[in-house]
A and B are shown apart, each in its own frame.
Chain A
Amino acid sequence: EVQLLESGGTLVQPGGSLRLSCAASGFTFSTYAMSWVRQAPGEGLEWVSSISGTGGSTYYADSVKGRFTISRDNSKNTLYLQMNSLRAEDTAVYYCAKEYVGGVWFDYWGQGTLFTVSS
């Protein structure tokens, strides 16, 4: 059974940093690209970042480019999102999601982790 478990959500001050983690199990992690998708309170879904199975290719939304870094450790079956220079508008539930083979849609999602950027 595929499982994705995010962690790292907390309260952070504006300008601060935080790293989210997503522990994956139930599939061959290194075979699949992975993504982070966020959802601000009461809002819709926003794609944040994607990374290829090897980690060699990464993609970012303009809203986070230069501030967030996606990475993965295939030996630990774990996906990361390093977030720097945090802003109030980064407040959201962050989901990690497994990408489908051959297309950037998401067949499995974690339960999400909420963090708040506030002073």
Chain B
Amino acid sequence: DIQMTQSPSSVSASVGDRVTITCRASHDISSWLAWYQQKPGRAPKLLISRASILESGVPSRFSGSGSGTDFTLTINSLQPEDFATYYCQQPNSFPITFGQGTRLEIK
């Protein structure tokens, strides 16, 4: 199984800050990585697929990069609606696995 490890587990930031979340895969997954945002009581929302492809309607302040085993999600100029939990996910092979999540909190 491919293990996905996110860091940090939580981060505090202010509106306007830039935040970077990392995700590391236990095996090479090329660019097969997705990022999701989840707000309390809501279903996850797909932000980025194939490591760096922004989904339609997702603000351009979100960006993803990386390949192989190391990936990052960057949020520039944080907005109040961005405070949520973020998950990475590998779609490379079954069993599909998610990172443990990174909670982005308001400082």
Contacts and interface: CB of A to CB of B under 8 A. Distances in A.
B95 A61 contact: yes
A71 interface: no
Contacts, number: 58
Give chain A's interface secondary structure class. Answer: strand
Give chain B's interface secondary structure class. Answer: loop
B46 A45 contact: no
Nearest to B95: A61
Interface in B51-101: 55, 87, 89, 91, 94-101
A105 B98 contact: no
Interface size of A as a range: 20 to 34
A35 B49 CA distance: 17
A44 B87 contact: yes
Interface of B: 32, 34, 36, 38, 43-46, 49-50, 55, 87, 89, 91, 94-101
Q: Nearest 9 pairs between A and B by C-beta?
A: A109-B43, A104-B91, A105-B34, A47-B96, A45-B98, A105-B91, A44-B101, A59-B94, A103-B91
